Amino acid sequence: MTATRRCREALGVVALLLLAACSGATKSPPEPSASLRSEQPPGFDVTFQWIPTPDFDLMSAEGTFVRAYVESHELARDGQSTSWGYPGFVAAATPDIDKNLEWQSSQIEFMGTMFYRFLARQSTGTATTITLCRYGYASSTGDWSFGTRPDTNPHPPWGVRSWGSRPVVLTVDTEGRPPPSEQSGSRRSPSINVFGDWAATAFDFVPRDPDRSDTDDFARCEADLTGIPPLPALEHTYQDHPIAPLPPSPGWPGAGL
């Protein structure tokens, strides 16, 4: 092999190494996977537990839609944006969803668990109206609109309380491709669109009567607490540590959050 040929081959190897180095230096970093992106609004660490009942199949297409819609609405309400809902939430949401979130949003940062249980169903054609009972507890470092912190210095940083049961009404148009069934797992949220072609036409927190007396739905939600674990007191209490959220149930397929 001549000296000239050896020189050319050496230059070729150097050129390849430089090209590889330059390619590596300019390569864009990979996009983070969906599992690494934040799935809940900042300061919001909540799980959802659905209490099984004989009249509401959590593993049915109906159960999938109701769970996904209610959980999405809760997250969107706290984050003040429909973008916090699950994949497909915007298309499945009520036409007035933005206005609904605007007056419902509370801007409370907290961790806790929300419990939902089926109360009643009424169907007409492709429209189904489902009434649910809503319960829950939360820990927060921010002052809520009720209760004041103790006058101790330093005072316990975490305020803890539960809230009383409240009926929630969701009306669903069940025309078209149904949502998938058998949705359960350790994840807090689904990674795919589980709404199918169904869409919500109304979603409301039932208000109390002006004189604060119980409506029938309020009374029924408060009378039967079967399946609801013991909750903190309704009055705000303070402690050094928050109460951790419970695991989601029945949760969504895939690896845990």
Q: 192-223, pLDDT tens digit by residue? A: 999 999 999 999 887 666 665 667 888 899 88
Q: Check residue 212 and give its pLDDT.
A: 58
- Percent above pLDDT 90 for the chain: 42
Q: Among the listed ranges 47-56, 176-185, 199-208, which one has the minimum average pLDDT value?
A: 199-208
Pick from 40, 39, 43, 41: nearest CA to 109: 43
* Cβ neighbours around 83 below 10 Å, total: 11
Give the C-alpha distances (Å, rounded to integers) separating 237 from 20, 106, 167, 257.
62, 20, 25, 29
Average pLDDT, the chain: 78
* Local confidence band at 7 (pLDDT 50, 70, 90 cut-offs): very low
Is the pLDDT assigned to residue 20 strictly greater than 60?
Answer: no
Q: What mean pLDDT do residues 63-76 have?
A: 95
Instruction: Specify the pLDDT at position 55.
Output: 94
Per domain, the residue ranges of the chain are: 42-145+154-239
Reported pTM = 0.78
What gap in Å lies between CA 30 and CA 140, rounded to an integer?
36
pLDDT at 43 over 90: no
Is the predicted pLDDT of residue 149 greater than 50, yes or no? yes
Q: Which residue has the higher pLDDT, 172 or 29?
A: 172
Question: Helix (H) and strand (E) counts for the chain?
Answer: 5, 6
pLDDT for 239: 84
